[in-house]
């Protein structure tokens, strides 16, 4: 009888799949990064609307101007992280994971680019309201395409408090960095550009805390 040898897959995609299966935190980081683009986009979008509406681009007043965008970003972050980043979805295949990462990241980047363009050109508040509407509709399409509407919510109430605490600390970090960046540094002569550069720095610092906090205290398994 002939010996039948099993050929082990050696493709790059197979090796990457094995790596992701062995170290699930890698995929969590990638998804958290894509969600971070979403969260940054809605945060910056609302911040620029508030800045355009009330004429505030620097100083201590940015604390309350910054709050609505952070609150919406936190609400959005909760559901995306629960159902996607830390949801344990690992069996959908490497290609599908890649497509989803690209889709989320691309939508976020396009909308963010439109926000920055509007801020640079001192757009009116209605401009940012229009972008906000398009962004929410795009998210609903992605949410449906990913099948999140069909997922069952189990023990949701147990996550609220810990998520709120981690996010509240993240907001304090975000607002502090934003205040320091816009009050003590001039990154660009254009007020809108300077505000958005400071905001990116604030988001970058708070994102590190948020990932560690969500991973350890909120969506732990």
Q: In the chain, count of helices (H) and strands (E)?
A: 7, 0
Give the H or E element holding residue 215.
none
Q: Is the pLDDT of residue 24 over 90?
A: no
- Asked if 39 contacts 77 with a C-beta cutoff of 8 angstroms, the reply is yes
Structural domain of 47 = 23-218
Let me know if residue 98 belongs to a domain.
yes
Instruction: Please name the residues in contact with 27: beta carbons below 8 A apart, sequence gap of 6 or more.
Output: 20, 90, 97
Count structural domains, the chain. Answer: 1
pLDDT at position 7: 41
The closest alpha carbon to 75, from 149, 2, 160, belongs to 160
Asked, for residue 177, whether it belongs to a domain, the answer is yes
List, for residues 102-157, the tens digit of each pLDDT value.
Answer: 999 999 999 999 999 999 999 999 999 999 999 999 999 999 998 887 665 555 65
Residue 212 reports pLDDT greater than 60? yes
Read off the pLDDT band of 1 (50, 70, 90).
very low
Distance CA 140, CA 143 (A): 5
Q: Is the pLDDT of residue 4 over 70?
A: no
Domain membership flag for residue 3: no
Please determine, for residue 8, whether its predicted confidence score (pLDDT) is greater than 80.
no
What is the pLDDT, as a whole number, of residue 5? 46
In a domain, 5, yes or no: no
Distance from C-alpha of 34 to C-alpha of 40, rounded to nearest angstrom = 10
DSSP string, 21-89: HH-HHHHHHHHHHHHHHHHHHHHHHHHHHHHHHHT--SSTTHHHHHHHHHHHHHHHHHHHIIIIITS--
**Two tokens, residue 145:** 């395409």
pLDDT in tens, 27-84: 888 899 999 999 999 999 999 999 999 988 877 777 788 889 988 998 898 889 888 8
- Is residue 2 situated within a structural domain? no
Residue 28 resides in a domain: yes
36 within some domain? yes
pLDDT at 89: 57
Residue 157 has a pLDDT of: 59
In a domain, 198, yes or no: yes
Q: What angle do the packed helices 191-213 and 94-120 form, to 10 degrees?
A: 150
Instruction: Taking residues 172-184, report their average pLDDT.
Output: 90
Structural tokens at position 27? 């995929």
């Amino acid at each position: 009888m002939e010996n039948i040898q099993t050929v082990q897959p050696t493709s790059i995609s197979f090796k990457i799949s094995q790596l992701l299966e062995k170290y699930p935190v890698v995929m969590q980081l990638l998804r958290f990064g894509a969600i971070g683009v979403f969260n940054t986009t809605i945060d910056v979008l609302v911040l620029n609307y508030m800045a355009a509406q009330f004429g505030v681009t620097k100083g201590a007043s940015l604390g309350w101007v910054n709050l609505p965008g952070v609150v919406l970003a936190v609400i959005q972050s909760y559901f995306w992280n629960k159902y996607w980043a830390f949801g344990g979805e690992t069996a959908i295949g490497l290609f599908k994971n890649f497509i989803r990462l690209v889709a989320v990241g691309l939508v976020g980047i396009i909308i963010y680019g439109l926000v920055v363009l509007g801020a640079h050109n001192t757009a009116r508040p209605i401009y940012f309201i229009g972008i906000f509407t398009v962004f929410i509709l795009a998210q609903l399409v992605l949410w449906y395409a990913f099948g999140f509407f069909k997922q069952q919510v189990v023990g949701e109430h147990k996550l609220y408090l810990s998520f709120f605490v981690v996010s509240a600390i993240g907001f304090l970090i975000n607002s502090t960095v934003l205040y320091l960046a816009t009050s003590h540094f001039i990154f660009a002569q254009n007020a809108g550009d300077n505000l958005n550069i400071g905001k990116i720095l604030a988001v970058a610092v708070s994102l590190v805390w948020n990932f560690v906090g969500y991973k350890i205290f909120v969506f732990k398994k």
